[in-house]
Structure 1
Amino acid sequence: MGALLGAPQAQGGSLDWDVVSSVNGLARHLPSALDSLLAFMGEYGVPLASVLMLLATWLWARKQSDPAGSVAGVLWAGLAAGLALVANVPVRALVERPRPFVEHPGSLDLLMDHQANGSFASDHATFTMAVAVGVFLVNRRYGFVAMGLAVLEGFLRMFVGVHYPTDILGGFALGTAVTLLLAPIAMALLTPLAHSVSRSALAPLIAHPRPRPATGRRSARRGGPAPLPDEPPHDLAA
C-alpha cells in the first residue's frame, strides 16, 4: 500500500515529490537561523500553540451561560486529538510509507534530525487538525485560528523535509474524522460529567466564579442627597 502513496524513486516523478521538493527548496534562500526557527516551530511551537488555543477556549467556555456544555466540548477537543494520534498508529503500520528524505536521499535539505519511521499520516497534522475541529465545534472564531495553525503546521512539516503533502492531508482527514464521528457519543458522556463536576468542589474548572450580589441598602450616589431616615408608622388613631 505504501507504493501507492509514495513518490517513485526517480526524482520529479510525482506531484507529491514536486510539492515537497519545492517547499523544502525555500530553505536554501533563507538564513540558517530562520530555517532553524521554522524547524523548531514545526516540531514544537505550533503544536504548543494549538494547546494554548485549547486553553483559551476553555477559559472562554467557563464564562458562558451553559458552561458545562461548552467545557465538555473543549474536553472532547483535547481527548479527540489524543484518540486521533492513537488511531494513526495502525494506519502508519498498514501503509508503511517511507519519508521523503528516505526515498530521495541527498535531494532535500533536512532541517532537523528525524527517525526514518512511517510517513503517512503525519502525527503533527493529525493532532493540530483534531484540536482545531474540536475547538471549532465550541467557538468558531477560535476554531478558525486553530485551523490556521494546523495549515501552518502542515506547511512546516514539508518545509523541513519530513512529510509529503498527502501525508499532511491524510493527517487532516484522520483528525477531522475522529473528532466529528465520535463527537455525539463523547458529548453524551462528557456533558453530564461536566454538570456533575460543576456541583462539586471542582466547580471552578467548569464555571468561572460569579460575584455574589451585594446585600443591604444601596449607598447613595456620590454628590446626591443623603438617604432619608425611615419614618415611624403613622398613628392612625390620632
Structure 2
Amino acid sequence: MAEVANDSVNPDISLLRDINGLARHAPRGLDRAVQAAGEYGIVAVSVLLAAWCWWRVARRRSEADAPGAVAGVLWAFAAAGIALLVNIPVRALVQRPRPYAEHDGLDVLVHSGHHYSFVSDHTAFTAALAVGVFMVSRGWGTVAILLALAEGFTRVYLGVHYPTDVVGGFALGAATALLLAPLGLALLTACTRRLAATRARRLVHAPAAAPHLPTAPGDHPATPRHSAADKGLAA
C-alpha cells in the first residue's frame, strides 16, 4: 500500500491524528484506563455480556424457543472466532504497516510488534460478537454494538490502528456474523435441541423457579373439608 506523503490531504491520517491527539492532552490516568479498556477490558466485558445473554434466554424463553435462542448466542461466539481466522489472510494480503511505523508525532500507548494493521482484530471480534448478540436480543445487542464502537475508538486513540482499520474490522465482523448465520445457526440449533434432551438440558432451558408467596399474618394452610359421611366413618 502506497504511503501518502501529505497527511493533511488524507482524511484517514487526519482523523488518526485528531483522535490520537486526545491522548497527548489527557491525564496519565485516563491514558492508562483507555489502554486497559482497549487491550483487554472491552473485549472481556463483551464476552461476559454475551454469556449473560445466554443465561437470560435459557431462563426466559419457552422450552420450544430456547434451543434456537441459545444457538444464536453460541453463533455470536463462533462468528467472533471465525472473524479472527478470516482476518489472518486479509492482513497477509493487504500488509499495511502500523501507523507508528509510517508516521511520526503519534502518541503511541501500545506497541503491537510487527503485526500488520488492517484490519483491527479487536474490532472484528467485538463487532461479530455484537451483531450475533443483536440477532438474539435487540436490547443487549445494542449495548454490545456500543461496546464494539468504543473498542474501535480506543484502538485509534492508542495509536495502533488507522480509522479505516477499525471500519474494516466492523465490516469483517458484521459480514461474518450475518452471511454465515444461516449455516451456523442451522448446525448449532440442531446441537442445542439434542442437548435439551440430555441431562445437560439446563444449559439450553433453565426456567426460573416459581416465586414462593409468603402467607399473610393470621392465614393458615388450607385443610381439606370432610363431608358428613366422612365424619360418620370417622366416628
TM-score by length of 1: 0.88
Corresponding position: 1:117 with 2:115 = yes
Task: Find out whether 1:80 has 2:79 as its counterpart.
Answer: yes
Distance in 2, Cα, partners of 1:98 & 1:9: 15
RMSD between aligned residues: 2.3
Q: CA deviation at 1:114?
A: 1.8
Aligned equivalents of 1:169 and 1:22: distance in 2?
Answer: 16
**How far apart, in 1, do the equivalents of 2:216 and 2:7 lie?**
80
Match of 1:159 in 2: 157
Q: Cα distance, 1:12 vs. partner?
A: 2.4
Alignment of 1:136-175 (within 5 A): 136-175=134-173
The equivalent of 1:217 in structure 2 is none
Q: Distance in 1 between matches of 2:52 and 2:209?
A: 22
5+ residue gaps, structure 2: none
Note if contact 2:117-2:161 (Cα within 8 Å) is conserved in structure 1: yes
What does residue 39 of structure 1 align with?
Answer: 35
Residues in 1 aligned to 2:10 and 2:163: alpha-carbon distance in whole angstroms: 11
Given that residues 129 and 150 in structure 1 are in contact (C-alpha distance below 8 angstroms), is that contact kept between their aligned partners in structure 2? yes
Question: Percent of counterpart pairs with the same letter?
Answer: 45
Q: How big is the shift at 1:199?
A: 1.1
Write the letter of the residue equivalent to 2:218. Answer: G
Residue deviations 1:42-89, cap 9 Å, x none? 010011111011111101110111211110000000000000100000
2:226 is equivalent to residue 227 of structure 1: no
1:99 maps to a residue whose letter is R
Contact 1:9 1:103 in 2 (8 A): no
Structure 1: runs of 5 or more not aligned:
215-219
Rounded Cα–Cα distance in structure 1 between residues aligned with 2:114 and 2:105: 15
**In 2, distance between residues paired with 1:209 and 1:138?**
18
Aligned length, in residue pairs: 226
Structure 2 CA distance, aligned partners of 1:165 and 1:224? 67
Q: TM-score, normalised by structure 2?
A: 0.89
- CA apart distance, 1:39: 1.0
CA contact (8 A) 2:111 2:160 kept: no
